[in-house]
Amino acid sequence: MRWLGKIFGGGAANIVALRKAIEQNRFADARLLAEQLTEQGVDEADTEELAELRKLAGDRLARLNMEEAFGFQRSGDDQRAREHLELAGELAISAELRAEVAQLLASEEPELLIPQNGHPHGSSDCSGCTPQPTISTGDAEPTFLDLETQLELVLTSYSPEVAGLYRSKGTEFLQAFLLSNAGDESSALLLWRQVPAEEQDALYFFEYGSSLARSGDPAEARPNLEKAVQLDPDLLLASEALVPVLVALGKTDAAFQHLNRLLESGQDPAFCHAHLAMLNLQLKNADLALSHVRQALANGVGDPQFLQLAASLLERSGALEEAENVLQALPAGGCGGGLSLPLAEFLLRQNRDLGKVLDSFNDACRQYPDNPRWQLRVAQTYLARNWRKEGLRLLQKVVGDPRLEPELQQEAESLLALQNS
DSSP per-residue letters across 275-302: HHHHHHHHTT-HHHHHHHHHHHHHTT--
Give me the pLDDT at residue 70, please. Answer: 75
- 300 touches 323 (CB < 8 A): no
How many angstroms separate the CA atoms of 49 and 47, rounded? 6
Single-letter amino acid code for the residue at 296: A
Give me the pLDDT at residue 325, please. Answer: 94
What average pLDDT does this structure show over 62-82?
75
HSE-up of residue 305 (Cα within 13 Å, Cβ side): 16
How many angstroms separate the CA atoms of 379 and 122, rounded? 55
| CB count in 10 Å sphere of residue 273 | 22
- Residue 47, C-beta contacts closer than 8 angstroms, at least 6 positions apart: 367
What average pLDDT does this structure show over 86-92?
85
pLDDT range class, residue 62, cuts 50, 70, 90: confident
pTM recorded for the entire structure: 0.61
Could you give the 3-state DSSP secondary structure of residue 333?
Answer: strand
pLDDT by residue (tens digit) across 34-44? Answer: 877 777 776 77
DSSP H helical segments within 75-124, as ranges? Answer: 78-91, 95-106
Of residues 196, 257, 211, 203, the one with CA closest to residue 227: 203
Average pLDDT of the chain?
80
pLDDT range class, residue 337, cuts 50, 70, 90: low
pLDDT range class, residue 101, cuts 50, 70, 90: confident
Q: Which of 61-65, 214-218, 224-228, 229-233 has the lowest mean pLDDT?
A: 61-65
Query: CA separation (Å) from 389 to 353, 361, 373, 416, 419?
Result: 21, 18, 20, 12, 11
Give me the pLDDT at residue 122, please. Answer: 34
Q: Which residue has the higher pLDDT, 73 or 281?
A: 281
Single-letter amino acid code for the residue at 314: L
Give me the pLDDT at residue 9, please. Answer: 39
Give me the pLDDT at residue 124, please. Answer: 32
